[in-house]
A and B are shown apart, each in its own frame.
Chain A
Amino acid sequence: GAVVSQHPSRVICKSGTSVKIECRSLDFQATTMFWYRQFPKQSLMLMATSNEGSKATYEQGVEKDKFLINHASLTLSTLTVTSAHPEDSSFYICSARDHMGSDTQYFGPGTRLTVL
């Protein structure tokens, strides 16, 4: 199956700093990538849809100025959590849609963010 990577897998930062998370589709091109957040024992929450070469589309209630998304190429999307606070601590997961292949979404392994 298609492979999606995320980096870093785990990050601990101080309150007020910014954290960048990378999402890469390794063996397919992804015009569309998705960013999710998941709190412990809760379901996935879609934050935004990232499209190569255009602005991301954010879900209701997600602050676009706080969660900056850039989809600069067909294999890379980045999520930057700006001025992170403890309440931003969560499991951030990206997924990429394999349009040309099976047309399904494949998830990256996730990034666990802890803000002190």
Chain B
Amino acid sequence: QKEVEQNSGPLSVPEGAIASLNCTYSDRGSQSFFWYRQYSGKSPELIMFIYSNGDKEDGRFTAQLNKASQYVSLLIRDSQPSDSATYLCAVRKNTGFQKLVFGTGTRLLVSP
């Protein structure tokens, strides 16, 4: 079992719709969770981080965390074609240098 799992997609949604991206993790002791966006040929860009159970909203983005189910999600409201990218879920390990463990990413396609 991978430490962080994401559906590779592509997830296709029409412009204006809500895009829902999901991520599960295996280490129950994990405390910190991150969502990054990566455009083709570019480096990852931090979108949001979440540490507590529940929802955290920032503009059109909402991160949801359920530690009991070991599940993190990212909702993108009013999706735009410019949101088309690969979304990486990352979980910070509590050991060593607390490096991030990344999922393989979900490719999102927003059609006009």
A contacts, CB < 8 Å to B: 1, 32, 34, 43-44, 46, 49, 51, 57, 91, 93, 97, 102-110
Query: What 0/1 pattern do residues 35 to 59 of B give for CB contact below 8 A with A?
Result: 0100001111110010000000000
Q: Are A1 and B105 touching (Cβ within 8 A)? A: no
B contacts, CB < 8 Å to A: 32, 34, 36, 41-46, 49, 88, 90, 96-100, 102-105
| Residue of chain A at shortest CB distance from B90 | A105
A30–B23 Cα gap in the complex (Å)? 28
Across-interface contacts of A44 in B (CB, < 8 A): 44, 88, 102
| Residue of chain B at shortest CB distance from A4 | B43
Extra contacts besides A49-B97, A57-B97, A110-B43 (8): CB < 8 Å: A1-B46, A44-B102, A97-B98, A105-B46, A107-B36, A107-B45, A107-B46, A109-B43
Q: Are A43 and B46 touching (Cβ within 8 A)? A: no
Across-interface contacts of B96 in A (CB, < 8 A): 49, 57
Q: Are A106 and B102 touching (Cβ within 8 A)? A: no
Q: Are A43 and B99 touching (Cβ within 8 A)? A: no
State whether A106 and B46 are in contact (beta carbons under 8 Å apart), knowing that A44-B88, A49-B97, A49-B99 are contacts in the complex.
Answer: yes
A67–B102 Cα gap in the complex (Å)? 22
Q: Are B43 and A102 touching (Cβ within 8 A)? A: no
A34–B92 Cα gap in the complex (Å)? 13
CB < 8 Å neighbour of B49 from A97, A104, A110: A104
A93–B41 Cα gap in the complex (Å)? 11
CB distance from A7 to the nearest CB of B (A): 14
Across-interface contacts of B41 in A (CB, < 8 A): 91
